[in-house]
Amino acid sequence: MSSPTRIQPRTLKGFRDFLPELMLPREHLVDTAKQVYRSYGFSPIDTPALEYLEILQGKGSDETDKQLYSFEDKGGRPVGMRFDLTVPLARFAAQHLNEIGTPFKRYHIATVWRGENTQRGRYREFMQCDFDTLGTRSLASDIETGLVIHDLLQAIGFEDFTIHLNNRQVLNGVLERVGLLPQATAVLRALDKLAKVGPEKVADEMMATAGASRSQADRVLKLAQISGTGTEPLEQLEPLVHGSPRGQEGVERLADLVNGLKAAGVPTKRLYLNVAIARGLDYYTGVIFETFLDALPEIGSVCSGGRYDNLAEMYAKQELPGVGASLGLDRLLAAMQELGMIEPVRTPATVLIPYFAADRLHDYLRLAADLRQAGIGVEVYPEAKKLGVQLKYADRRGFRLALIIGDQEFTDGVCQLKNLTTGESQTISLSSGSEQVAQEIQRLLVI
């Protein structure tokens, strides 16, 4: 073949390759999430990456519309790439409601695309990891959503994290009492910035965009400052919503949530009432969750969600209430890197068998096959090279053990099992096949 014109190998701005050292922990994270979701009876679903443009457009915010990857396909259909997993879930639920039945608990782990401004260090392709319970307004699903978040973080390996809880009804109740309910959207949009810009600027924005008076703004901010781990914040809330049925209901429901989470085993210190979190504005109608790593609160919430009244109203007549949350997979991965929770390993196998007795390929392959049967991940180096080269390779990839067998060892019916971390070696008999080797490897891997 003649040499073709060479094309520069590169990825698009805002897109990236995942090399093994990042992909291995990412797969582990996905597997952990799946395992937790499954243990609660959430089932996997998948939806297409491409949807009719009308399904996606106008469903998020003006920003998501602007960031949408959209085009005409070769059949002249206007199409778009999904920018989240919630809009596809809404379309999916409306389309398959009769088949799936309710309550319907699903998880969906998939890639989404947004043409974000990459200067903010964001990627245009990232993975979302959502779980939702559709078709019920029950308190039990609110509690369960919190339990899943808690189990997830624990299963991933975090001990020090805090789940922030709120209920939109509490906010609405206070706004009702203050006389700002009709301007709820503008007020909550301002309030959402509290942690970032502080109370003064939030008050200014409320007055500018929601037409609030100074005293109205102060009353909302007073509410927003109520927070804490015990039952005290709930007691402080009571008088502020007194007389507003929706506010009282919100406070009650929040109390029931906290009690349910504790009853199921969540330590009190990990639950934090935070009336300032409003999230997503129009979207949520009940409980709201945000989750912060105590060591890295500045990266923002790593698992967020809440309750909504009607997911599929754009696509179906039936009301479809639900509750759920989304694990920020890539954000969490970045945090784990920063916290040194990720080992620099580039191989999923633990044992390398160097191949240096050139005529013994069949013996190496047979031994590796036997060890795999015993559940041990084994790579046989593909070429008969010098042992030193192969041990360097083992080191670069992060193998934990090497099983060294040259011609002499084969003749003597033994092998050298080398611990690549400590440098220690031991001689093991091969006379009774691979069994003894497998046992010794398993013993070393447990240590």
Per-residue burial over 51-68, b = 16 or more CB atoms within 10 Å of its CB, e = otherwise: bebebbbebbeeebeebb
| Shortest CB 382 distance to its own copies, Å | 4
For residue 120, state whether it binds its own copies (rule: CB under 8 A): no
Tell which positions 13-42 bind its own copies, by CB under 8 A: 13, 15-20, 23-24, 26-27, 34, 37-42
For residue 280, state whether it binds its own copies (rule: CB under 8 A): no
Binding residue (CB under 8 A) for its own copies from 86, 133, 166, 304: 133
| Shortest CB 92 distance to its own copies, Å | 6
Q: How far apart are CA 58 and CA 314, in angstroms?
A: 10
Binding mask 373-412 for its own copies (x = CB under 8 A): ---xxxxxxxx---------x--xx---------------
Tell which positions 340-369 bind its own copies, by CB under 8 A: 346-349, 352, 355, 361-362, 365-366, 368-369
Binding residue (CB under 8 A) for its own copies from 71, 201, 395, 407: 71
For residue 76, state whether it binds its own copies (rule: CB under 8 A): no
For residue 445, state whether it binds its own copies (rule: CB under 8 A): no
- Return the amino acid letter for 438: A
Binding residue (CB under 8 A) for its own copies from 85, 105, 167, 391: 105
Query: Could you tell me which of 223, 215, 266 has the C-alpha nearest to residue 242?
Result: 223
For residue 319, state whether it binds its own copies (rule: CB under 8 A): no
| Shortest CB 305 distance to its own copies, Å | 16
Binding residue (CB under 8 A) for its own copies from 204, 313, 412, 440: 313
- Return the amino acid letter for 41: G
Beta pairing partners, 194? none
Peptide bond into 354 cis (omega under 30): no
CA-based R_g, the chain, Å? 28
For residue 189, state whether it binds its own copies (rule: CB under 8 A): no
For residue 337, state whether it binds its own copies (rule: CB under 8 A): no
Binding residue (CB under 8 A) for its own copies from 32, 47, 416, 442: 47
Give me the residue label for tokens 């003064």.
200
Binding residue (CB under 8 A) for its own copies from 83, 84, 113, 173: 113
Q: How far apart are CA 125 and CA 146, in angstroms?
A: 27
Q: How far apart are CA 268 and CA 230, in angstroms?
A: 7
Nearer to its own copies, 208 or 361 (CB): 361
Query: Could you tell me which of 262, 236, 327, 322 has the C-alpha nearest to residue 286?
Result: 322
Binding mask 410-439 for its own copies (x = CB under 8 A): ------------------------------
The residue range among 91-99, 223-231, 239-247, 408-416 that interacts with its own copies, by the rule CB under 8 A, is 91-99
For residue 77, state whether it binds its own copies (rule: CB under 8 A): yes
Cβ pair 148, 40 in contact under 8 A: yes
- Looking at 231-328, list the stretches that DSSP marks H as alpha helix, in order from N- to C-terminal side: 232-241, 245-263
Token digits of residue 183: 């301007």
| Shortest CB 314 distance to its own copies, Å | 6
The residue range among 203-211, 258-266, 334-342, 430-438 that interacts with its own copies, by the rule CB under 8 A, is 258-266
Beta pairing partners, 104? 134
For residue 185, state whether it binds its own copies (rule: CB under 8 A): no
For residue 264, state whether it binds its own copies (rule: CB under 8 A): yes
| Shortest CB 47 distance to its own copies, Å | 5
The residue range among 200-208, 260-268, 291-299, 408-416 that interacts with its own copies, by the rule CB under 8 A, is 260-268
| Shortest CB 282 distance to its own copies, Å | 7
For residue 195, state whether it binds its own copies (rule: CB under 8 A): no
Q: How far apart are CA 277 and CA 255, in angstroms?
A: 17
- Listing DSSP states for 51-86 in one string gives EEHHHHTTSS-HHHHHH--EEE-TTS-EEEE-S-SH
Binding residue (CB under 8 A) for its own copies from 49, 207, 281, 334: 49
Per-residue burial over 322-350, b = 16 or more CB atoms within 10 Å of its CB, e = otherwise: bbbbbbbbbbbbbbbeeeeebeeeebebb
Query: Could you tell me which of 227, 244, 236 has the C-alpha nearest to residue 180?
Result: 244
Q: How far apart are CA 86 and CA 337, in angstroms?
A: 28
The residue range among 133-141, 217-225, 289-297, 402-410 that interacts with its own copies, by the rule CB under 8 A, is 133-141
Whole-number Cα distances in Å, 82 to 69, 109, 111: 8, 13, 8
